[in-house]
Each structure stands twice: as C-alpha cells, then as structure tokens.
Amino acid sequence: MPLRPRKLLCLLPLLLGFCAASTQAVENGETAPAFTLPPLRSDDGNADISLADFRGKVVYVDFWASWCPPCLVSIPLLNELRNRLVEAGEPFEVLAINVDSDPELGIEFLLDEPVQYLALRDPAGTTPALYQVPGMPTSYLVDARGQVRLVHTGFKRSDIDKIELEVTKLLDEIE
Amino acid sequence: MMKHAARLFGLLFTVLCCANLAACTPVAAWERGNLARPEMAIVSDPLEGALDAHVYFSKEASSGGNSTAGGGCGCN
C-alpha cells in the first residue's frame, strides 16, 4: 500500500534530523579528542605537537583568536598561572590553539604579549570542529588520564581564580 | 487527477524546502573572524551605539534584543 502524503509528512522530522549537525560538543567526563598541530611560532620549533605528548600532566587546552577580545584578556593571566605552577614543579601545561584564518595575526599578537606556553596553529579550524567549540574563547581542562574535567566558555578576569582552583584539584589527584 | 498532482507537487515542494534548511547553518564560533571586524558592526562607534540604545529603551520602555555587543563574534 503506497504511503499517503499525510503519512509522508510525518517523516519530515526525520529528514530535518539528518539536516542537523550530527556532531556533539565535548563535555565534562569525556575523553579529550586527540589532535596534532604545528606550533604557531617558529621559536617553538617545527615539530608537530600532540595532546597525547602531555599524558600524565594536567593540560589546559585553550581555543583563541586575535579577533576575540576576551581571549586577549585571558592570555597574560593564563601565562602567569602556567609559569607559577611550572616553576613550582607542577605537571601542568597550557596548549593554546590559535584559530585565526591568518596565523600571522596570532603571531603578531604574541609578539606584543609574549607567552611561555605552547601556542599551536589551526587556521583550517579542524580541532575546534572536533571539539564543537560553542563560543570564543573556550577552554578544556584535561586531567592526567586525558579526560575533560572542565569546559569553560568566555573569559573575564575573575575566571582565572576558578580555573586555578580546578587545576589545583586535578594536580592534587596526581600526587 | 489534477488534485492528486497538486498534492504531490505541494509535498515535493515542502520536502525540498526542508532539505534546504541545511543551508541555514550558523557560522561556527571559530569562524567569526570577519564578523568580529569593527566595520561589520551595525553601529561602528560603540559609544554612539550605546547612546542610541539608551534613547531607544527610554522611549520604548524596552531594552535588549536588538543586537549583540562587539560586532557579532559572539564572544562577549
């Protein structure tokens, strides 16, 4: 028996479902999707850097762009936090993924605001698409086992205290 | 016969319209570099924009919902 048009209309939500994006944003408790990216600055060498290289450390993966004002607020604060923890011998690292379509814009910004953490480039936006980054900036705090433990979207100055608290908790888990 | 054809055409049209909704995907957060440029703002001067908004909500007794701050990068 052929389907009547009215019945066919019932299939429309299914069709719309196919039209919708099939990927989902990375959330707390999920394994951080793996990535391998080249460094943004030539000072960081030519070798590609993978998230897996930092297994055993707490990693703060930060998606940023030169056109995003809150990202620029976060950079010096993250650098200060990272340097303080690393100097204290804590297994912590920041991986800052620049998503500018022209990486030169990111490099230019870091010349004015130098950071000691690793800055990576992803002008094609493959990694933010993998994580389904909901806004800019978005950061993922990854524990020593590679699990995402905090997703932080947006940034204002006072957020650094909350981030430090979460980082400290994860560092305590290692010890 | 004609009625049946019209129904079929209507159904086909609806299905095609729905299929085209896939083209209405939002710009991803990390692809908003051009939207964030100052010249992309509806009002290029933030102070003028704030004054306009103030006058608007004073007169209309309503505020918000007209646009986002910062030229549409969605990062504020």
Express each pLDDT in A90-108 by its tens digit: 999 999 999 999 999 999 9
Tens of pLDDT, residue by residue over A106-118, are 999 999 999 999 9
A68-75 mean pLDDT:
94
Chain-wide mean pLDDT for chain A?
A: 89
- The reported pLDDT for the residue numbered B36 is 87
Question: Which pLDDT score, from 0 to 100, does residue A84 have?
Answer: 97
Tens digit of each residue's pLDDT (9 = 90 or more) over A28-58:
899 999 999 999 998 888 899 999 999 999 9
Closest chain A residue to B9 measured between Cα atoms? Answer: A5
Chain A contacts of B5, Cβ < 8 Å? none
Residue B15 has its nearest CB partner, among A15, A65, A68, at A15
ipTM of this complex: 0.77
The pLDDT of residue B71 is 46
Pure H helices in chain A: 5-10, 12-19, 69-87, 103-112, 126-131, 159-174
Chain B contact for A37 (CB, 8 A cutoff):
no
Residues of chain B positioned with their CB less than 8 A from the CB of A68: 36, 73, 75
Going by their DSSP bridges, the two strands A49-50 and A36-37 should be labelled as antiparallel
**In the prediction, which pLDDT does B41 show?**
79
Provide, as residue numbers in chain B, all residues whose Cβ is less than 8 Å from the Cβ of A65: 30, 33
Interface test with B, best of A67, A127, A153 (most B CBs within 10 A): A67
**Are residues B29 and A138, on separate chains, in Cβ contact within 8 Å?**
yes
- Residue A3 in this model has a pLDDT that exceeds 60: no
- Which residue from B41, B26, B28, B72 is spatially nearest to A99, judged by alpha carbons? B28
Distance CA A71, CA A43 (A): 22
Q: Are A136 and A68 in contact (CB under 8 A)?
A: yes
